[in-house]
Amino acid sequence: MSVIESLWGKIRNLQPKEILFLQRPLGLQARITLLFTVIVVSVLVLFSYLEFRLTEHSQREVWRERSVYVTREFDAKIYTQKDLGNIAFLEEEIANWMYARPSIKVIDIFLFHRNTYRVAVSSWGGKDLGISRQSLDSLRKDFVLSTLVTRDDRPHWEILAPLHAGRKVVGGIRIVTSLEEVETFLADKRTRTILFTLVSVAILILILAVFFSRAIHRPIQQLVRAMSEAEDGRLNVAVPLESRDELGLLTVHFNRMLSRISQFNEELTGRIEAATRELAQRNEELRQANEALFQAQHQLVQAEKLSALGHVAATMAHEIGTPLNSISGYIQLMLAEEAGSESMTRRLKIIESQLDRLTQTIRNLLHSTRQPEPQLRALDINQLLETVMALTQPGMSMREIQQVRRLDPALPPVAGDPSLLQQVFLNLITNALDAMPRGGVLTLVTSSPDSSGQDGHFVEVAVGDTGTGMSMEVKRKAVEPFFTTKVPGKGAGLGLSICEEIVRSHHGRMEIETEEGKGSTIRVQIPVFSPEVV
C-alpha cells in the first residue's frame, strides 16, 4: 500500500507541462508501433499458449505410454500362477521397481475374485482400490486403462493393466505415476517461452522503430516541413523522393502540387501586374479625357464670355454709336460755317478726330468679339460624336445616366468645322446631363432624313433626354441671349444662343422638341459635304 500511495503522490505533484505531455496524443509512428506490437504479442502469446498446451499434452501422453510400458514390463516379470502366490517375491519386485523409478508412487497387484477383486500386494497397504466393475470387465478383455488423477494437488497417471499368468488374465496391475518431472519440464518451458516472447517483442519494437523512422516518420516529417515552408510562402521547396511506395507517390503529387501552385502564383502575379498596368493606362486615358473635357468646357465658357462680350459690345455700339454720329454731324456743320475763329476751328477738328478715334475703337471691339467664321471641311459626324461622348462619360457615370446610341454607319460626311461643332454638341449634351441630376436616359441618334423642300441634303443629329422638359414659354426664350433656367453661377444663358449661331454659320438649323415633365430633344441639321457648300 505504501508503494501505491507514493506513486499517487508523485502523480498529484506533476507539473502542468508534465500532465500536458502525458495527455499528448500518440504520434503516427508510436500508434503503428503499438498496434503492431499488440498484434505480434497477441499472436506470439496465442501460439506460445497453443504450443505449450500441445507440449503439455504430448509430454503427458509420452509419460502415460511410459507408464503403460512399465506396467507391461512388470506384468512380464510374473510368469506363472506360482509367482502370484509368492507375496515376498512380489513385494521385493515392487520395492525394486519403485526404487529404480522414483516417479512411480503406487504399485498394486490384485486378482479377480468372482465378480470383484482382492488385493494381493499393495505398496501402500490398501485393500480397496476403488476399481469399478466396468474397469474390471475391460481388464478381463485385456484392455489397458489410463486415467489422469490428482494426488496431493499434483497430476498423476493411474494405469490399470491386465495381469497375466501365461496367456490368461488373472487380475490386474495398478500403477500411479507422478507427473512431477513433466510439470518441471513444462515450468521451465513456460519460463523460456515467456523470455522468448519478451525478447521477441523487444527486438520487434526496435526493428519497427527503425523501420518506421526510416520508411514513414522521416518522409512524413519532410512533408510536414515542406508544408510549413510552403505556408510561409516559400513554394520553391521540393521534398526528396526516397521510396516508391504510397508515401513516395504522395511526395511526387505534393511536389507537383507545389509546382502548380508556384506556377499559378507566377501567372496570377503576371496577370495582376498586367491588370495594374492596364488600370494605370486606363487612369491615364481617363485623366487625359478629363483634361480634354476641362479644356473643352473651358473653351465653351470662354466662348460664352466672348459671345456675351460681343452682345454687350454690340449694344454699347448701338447705344453709343448713334449719339456719336449725331455729334460728328454737328461738328462737321460747325466746321462748314466760316464764321468761327481759327482757334474754334482747331478745337472742333480735335473733337472730330477724337470722335473718329472713338468710333474706330468701337468697331475694333465689335470685330474682336465676333464669332469666327467656320472652316468647313468634310467631317465624319459619328466620329465627332464618339469623341464628345468620351469627354462627357465621367459626368454620365457620376449621375448614373444610361446611354442609348443609334448612330447610322452609312452617313455621308458633313460640311463642318470640327472645333465649332464639337462645341455645339458638347453644350447640348451638357445641358441634357444638367436636366437629369438624378439619372435618366441620354439618347443620341444620327440619320439622313429626306430633306425635300430644303436646299440640299442634311444629316440630322438628335440629342434627347428624359429630364424635366420645358414649358412653351421657356422653349420660346431658350435661344435668347442671357436667358437661363439654371441657378446663378451654373450658366450665363448663352449656350443655346451660341449653338444656334454656330449651326446657322454652317448653313444648318436647330430645332427644339420638348414636353414639360417628359424631357427634351434638340435636333441639329448640318448640310452634307459638297464643293458648292464649301
Domain count, the chain: 3
Mean pLDDT of all residues belonging to the chain: 77
Identify whether residues 390 and 447 lie together within a single domain: yes
Domain end: 186, 220, 255, which one? 186
Residues 399-439: tens digit of each pLDDT: 889 999 999 999 999 999 988 898 889 888 888 888 888 88
Which strands form 168-178's sheet, in the order they lie side by side? 116-122, 104-113, 168-178, 154-165, 145-151
- Contact status, residue 508 vs residue 458, Cβ threshold 8 Å: yes
**Contact predicate 426/300, CB 8 Å:** yes
Contact 468, 517 (CB under 8 A): yes
- Tell me what pLDDT residue 339 has: 54
Q: What is the mean pLDDT of residues 452-461?
A: 69
Domain range enclosing 142: 29-186
Give the pLDDT of residue 442: 93
Rounded Cα distance, 494 and 477, in Å? 11
The last residue of one of the domains, among 186, 221, 244, is 186
Q: Which of 136, 165, 186 is the last residue of a domain?
A: 186
The pLDDT of residue 6 is 56
Q: What angle do CA 281, 286, 287 make, to 5 degrees?
A: 95
Span 338-361, pLDDT tens digits: 555 677 777 777 777 767 767 766
Q: Are residues 355 and 282 in the same domain?
A: yes
Query: How does pLDDT run across 468-489, given as a tens digit for each residue?
Result: 888 777 666 555 654 455 544 4
Does this model's pTM top 0.75? no
Q: Are residues 419 and 495 in the same domain?
A: yes
Same-domain status, 468 and 363: no
Task: Kindly report the CATH number assigned to the domain that includes residue 435.
Answer: 3.30.565.10
Residue at grid coordinates 444656334: 500
What's the CA gap between 179 and 59, in Å, rounded?
9
Please indicate, yes or no, if residue 241 is contained in any of the structural domains: no
